[in-house]
Structure 1
Amino acid sequence: MYQFFVEPGQIQGNKVIITGKDVNHIKNVLRMKAEEEISVSNGVDGKEYRCGIKELSGEEIICEVRFIREEGVELPAKVYLFQGLPKADKMEWIIQKAVELGVYEIIPVAVKRAVVKLDGRKAESRVLRWQGIAGAAAKQSKRGIVPRVRNVMSFQEAINYSRQADIKLIPYELAEGMEKTREVFGSLQPGKDIAVFIGTEGGFSPEEIETAAKEGVVPITLGKRILRTETAGMTVLSIIMYHLEQ
């Protein structure tokens, strides 16, 4: 079943009004007809509104809500991915997979060893594209919300923003002790905010690790092998999903 996101105001009682680009997609790409069923979310409350198409016009599609699934599909904790800016188009892949794994927000971070430098209009344009990728991934994986991609932050700004989190993790190649890693992941509980810091291809600088540790960010190891930046984040998110999924 196809899923679409609408603004909360577009759900009016038992009626849903779909506008914008989705109108063309439903009519001319998917070639859907009246009485066919779609899934709609408002991107806020995590509910799934199962709807039947009633009217199709040039500018809007009117649907009728048939039933509402309230338990949702979201993880019972908010996971914030602080991703160091990687090379090339890796960020697009990271965002797509992170959304599939249940991340709540993605924060691009300009760490010290990042090769990619984004500022001004270029950064704004890139973030808009990344948000679009997050939206498409949320549709594909039938998320109840569209995870937000924040503006690029400096490492210190990211540390400051992470202070709201209950648990803060930073995989680091010089960290030791898988027992500690198991203990940290085993302590995860529903209702907690979790921040995950992932470095770039060059990793974090010792100064960044020291700054993070002073703010309560826990360095952990992910094993004896060195993981690529796009692998490390997905590894951590997968483990978190495994421990929290209900």
Structure 2
Amino acid sequence: MHRFFISPQNIKENTVCIDQEEARHIEKVLRLTTGDIVVCFDGTGREYQVRLEGRENGILTGEIIHTGLRESEPALKLYLAQGIAKGEKMDTIIQKSVEIGVTAIYPVSCERSVVRLAGDKTEKKVHRWQTIAREACKQCRRNLIPEVMPVMNFTSLLEKIGDKPAIMLYENEDTNSLKALLQGEQFTGAKEIFILIGPEGGFSDSEVLAASRQGIVTASLGPRILRTETAGLVAASIILYEYGDLG
């Protein structure tokens, strides 16, 4: 059954008002019409079976015929702190990490980041990434849309993490594997974890040192060096597998 996003403010009692972008897709692309049943989700966890009613004052409406909660969220809250990557890599990272099951994404401007965002450009990028996250939820049947946070620098990220459990994936780590760390005492039974992924050039020595001083441990993903757009997805998959969500 086709899935569409509706803002909670567009739900009035048993009626939903579908925004113009989704309405065009329903009518022009899918050729659905009055009486057809679709699934709508509001981004807060609820989903609705909706019978299309047609347009009222130019707005496509539908009648809610069933309301439910779909349990598709991991028990572990997994936060991806991603060094901003260039080109379309960030789009891919956002899309795939949402599919895998991350709770939120923190875009981070690191010392070695190639991309430098500022002002209106930053806001437009974050808005685009949030839209990608929403579209990914439609495809993977998540009803709770992960939030893409405002772009922050590395110092602000460390302040945000505080004393929460966190792992920095670091290509020069030759002692701790991610799997071994997850099975150790520090992360056993954790309710939330931050994973830190560097940009194309990796984390700088000063960033690694600052993270270490805060108690953030470094880990390796194995003998091969992964691209930034691959590392976070692999790490998230391993973590959610170890915590019983994937596989």
TM-score clears 0.5: yes
Distance 2:206 2:91 in 1: 28
Distance 1:19 1:125, change over 3 A: closer
Whether contact under 8 Å (1:48, 1:72) holds in the other structure is: no
**Aligned residue in 2 for 1:198:** 197
Alpha-carbon shift at residue 90 of structure 1 (Å): 0.8
Relative distance call for 1:183 and 1:139 in structure 2 (3 A) is same
Q: Cα RMSD between the aligned structures?
A: 2.1
Following superposition, the deviation at residue 188 of structure 1 comes to 5.3
Task: Give the match for residue 157 of structure 1.
Answer: 156
Q: Partner residue of 2:212?
A: 213
Contact 1:27 1:33 in 2 (8 A): yes
Distance 1:57 1:188 in 2: 54
What SS does structure 1 have at the residue aligned with 2:85? Answer: coil
Report how many residues are paired.
242
- Equivalent position amino acid for 1:2 in 2: H
Letter in 2 for 1:215: Q
- Residue 203 of structure 1, CA deviation: 0.8
Q: Deviation at 1:37?
A: 1.7
Aligned partners of 2:231 and 2:88: how far apart in 1?
Answer: 16
- Taking a change above 3 Å as real, the CA distance of residues 50 and 72 of structure 1, as seen in their structure-2 partners, is farther
Aligned to 1:81: 80
| Structure 2 gaps, min length 5 | none
What's the CA shift string for 1:138-178, capped at 9, x where partnerless?
212121122221221100011111227x4211111122335
2:39 corresponding residue in structure 1: 39
Cα displacement (A) at 1:34: 2.1
Cα distance between partner residues in 2 of 1:103 and 1:86: 18
CA distance in 2, matches of 1:11, 1:209: 47
1:182 maps to what in 2?
179
Superposed CA deviations along residues 21-54 of structure 1, whole A, max 9, x for unmatched, are: 212221222111122221111111x122222223
For the 8 Å contact 2:70–2:143, the answer to whether it is kept is: no
Please say which of residues 142-151 and 222-231 is displaced more in the overlay. 142-151
Give secondary structure in 1 for the equivalent of 2:98.
Answer: helix
| Residue 173, structure 1, aligned to residue 171, structure 2 | yes
Q: How does 1:10-49 map to 2 (within 5 A)?
A: 10-44=10-44, 46-49=45-48
Match of 2:3 in 1: 3
Identity of aligned residues (%): 37
Q: Which runs of 5+ in 1 are unaligned?
A: none
SS of the residue corresponding to residue 195 of structure 1 reads strand
CA contact (8 A) 2:170 2:220 kept: yes
* Structure-2 separation of matches of 1:195 and 1:105: 10
The letter for the 2-side match of 1:176 is D
Query: Secondary structure of 2:72's match?
Result: coil
Letter in 2 for 1:209: V
Q: Distance in 2 between matches of 1:230 and 1:143?
A: 22
Contact 2:179–2:238 (Cα < 8 Å) also in 1: no
1:202 maps to a residue whose letter is: G
